[in-house]
Amino acid sequence: MEKDGVLAVKDLGSKNGVLVDERKVKNAGVIGDGSRLTVGSHIFDVRIEDDRLRAASSRKAERQTAKRDEVVAKGEPSEAMKLNVDVDSLGQGGALQQIGSAVALVMIVVVSAYFCVDVAQRLLAVEIVDPVADANKINNWSFEDLVPEGSREDLVVGWEAGADSLLRRVKDRGIRGGNYAMELVGGAGTDDSKVSSAAQGELVRVAPGDQFLLEGFVTNRGSFLAGLMVEWLRAGDGEKLVGRSFSAPVRGTGGGEVELDVSQVIKAPAGAGSARISCFLVGSGKACFDQVYFAKAELAEDEAIAGGAASLERKAGGQAEALVVGMDSPGIFSLRRGKRITFSSFWAGL
C-alpha cells in the first residue's frame, strides 16, 4: 500500500508474520526498490516502476536500514530494533496522529475510571445518621444502627429489655433526631409501682467520684413516670449493685403525652467500678427515648455535686429502726439500712 508518499507493507495479524529485508515487521514497514519481502515461505524481490514512489520509498528504506544498523551497533536487543523499524516505517503525519490518539485514549480511560470509582463509592457508602459524639459512652445512642441481616426490623441493636418489658425500634413522634426512637412498653394491667427497663448491653467503666452528664429525649405516653437511670456496680463484681442515679423523671398525665429533654449531672459513688445505663418507665403504658447521652462532665469547683445524708427513724413493732437517706445529687435519694441498700428512689412530688 502507499502511505504518506512511500510504499509500505502492513501485517494484518498473520501467523508467521511478514519480514522486510529479513527483519520482522511488527505493524508496518517501508519497502524500497530492491527490498526483499518475505511472507511465510514466499520471498519477493521488490521492483518499483513509478519514479516518484521509487525515489521516496528507497530513501526512506535506506534511512530505515541505517537506523537498524545503528541499533545493532549499539548492542541493543532485537526487540528495540523491531521497535525502531516500526516507528520509522510510519510517516510523520501518521506517527503524530497515533500519538494523539493514544493520549486521548489514556485520558478517556482515566476519566472513566475516576467516575466509576466515584459512583461505586457513593453506592456502597453507608450514610451515618445522627453520628455519636466521641465523648458519649452510649454506642447506639440515637437507635439508628442498622439491624443485622435476618433479624426482625424493630430490633434495638446493643440494648436489652428487662424482665416483663417489651422493647422495639420505632419510627414515631418520639424522635428527636434521625429516623428512629426506642419504645419501651410496660406490662399490661400493672400497678404504678412496676418498673420496666431497657439497658445498654455494654457496661461503662467508671471510678468513684467521677461526675457524668446524663441526658436524653423522653416521651411519656400514659405511664406514671419515665426517664433515664444509671446503676452503679461494684468494682470486680459486675452484678453487685452499689447505687442508682436518675434523670429528672417525665411524669405522665393520665393517658396524655409528655415530651421532655432531660438532663442531670450525677456522681459515681464509693465502690463503683462500672455503670449500666438504662431507660425506664413506671407503671403501665409506654415511653419513647432518643439521643441518650452519658459522658464525663467537667465542672468547676463551685459546681461540684455535694453529697449529704439525713437520719430518719421508723418504728416497727414498737421498736425503732435507724434508716439513712443519702442524697448524692439533686432530687436523687438512696435509702439504706445499715450498709445495705434497701431501695433507691427519686423525688416525684411526694
Q: Is the pLDDT of residue 32 over 50?
A: yes
Per-residue pLDDT of 248-276, as tens digits, reads: 888 877 667 888 888 888 888 888 999 99
Residue 241 banded pLDDT, cuts 50, 70, 90: confident
Rounded Cα–Cα distance for residues 131 and 139 (Å): 10
> pLDDT above 70 covers what percent of the chain?
72
Residue 249: C-alpha distances to residues 17, 84, 137, 196 (Å):
90, 87, 21, 14
158: cell is: 446493643
Give the mean pLDDT of 212-217.
92
Q: What confidence score (pLDDT) does residue 347 get? A: 46
Tell me what pLDDT residue 340 has.
Answer: 59
pLDDT tens figures, 323-339: 555 554 444 555 555 55
Could you give the percent of the chain with pLDDT greater than 90? 21
- Does residue 138 fall inside a structural domain? no
Kindly tell me if the per-residue pLDDT of 87 is higher than 60: no
The answer on pLDDT for 306 being more than 50 is no
**CA gap 283, 249 in Å, rounded:** 13
Q: What pLDDT score was predicted for residue 205?
A: 93
Whether the predicted pLDDT of 322 surpasses 50 = yes
Residue 147 included in any domain: no
Res 344 pLDDT > 80: no
d(CA 255, CA 250): 13
- The verdict on residue 107 lying in a domain is no
| Tally of domains in the chain | 2
Q: Which three cell numbers stand for residue 166?
A: 417489651
Res 206: pLDDT:
93
Contacts of 184 (CB under 8 A, 6+ apart): 161, 165, 166, 167, 196, 197, 198, 226, 279, 280, 281, 286, 287, 288, 289
Q: Sign of torsion, CA 291 294 300 306? A: positive
Cα angle 247, 250, 255; round to 5: 160
Average pLDDT rounded to a whole number, residues 75-83: 46
Residue 314 in any domain: the answer is no
CATH of the domain at 230: 2.60.120.260
User: Does 348 score more than 60 pLDDT?
Assistant: no
C-alpha torsion angle, residues 258, 199, 182, 134 (rounded to 10): 100
When pLDDT is cut at 50, 70 and 90, the band that residue 199 belongs to is very high
Task: Give the residue from 34, 57, 90 where a domain finishes.
Answer: 90
CATH number at residue 79: 2.60.200
**Per-residue pLDDT, 31:** 80
Which of the listed residues 90, 112, 128 is the one where a domain comes to its end?
90
**What domain range is 16 assigned to?**
2-90
Lowest model confidence (mean pLDDT) among 75-79, 156-160, 208-212, 277-281: 75-79
The confidence score (pLDDT) of residue 80 equals: 41
Q: Is the pLDDT of residue 113 over 80?
A: yes
- CA 244, CA 230: separation in Å to the nearest integer? 6
Is position 130 within any domain? no
Residues 86, 163 within the same domain: no
Q: Alpha-carbon distance 135 to 132, whole Å?
A: 8
User: What integer is the mean pLDDT of 170-178?
Assistant: 80
Note the pLDDT of residue 209: 87
> For residue 318, what pLDDT band results from cuts at 50, 70 and 90?
low
86 and 179: one domain?
A: no
Q: So what's the pLDDT on residue 79?
A: 46
CA distance 92 to 112: 30
Higher pLDDT, 132 or 43: 43
> Chain-wide mean pLDDT for the chain?
77
**Average pLDDT estimate for 223-229:** 88
Q: Which of residues 68, 90, 112 is at a domain's end?
A: 90
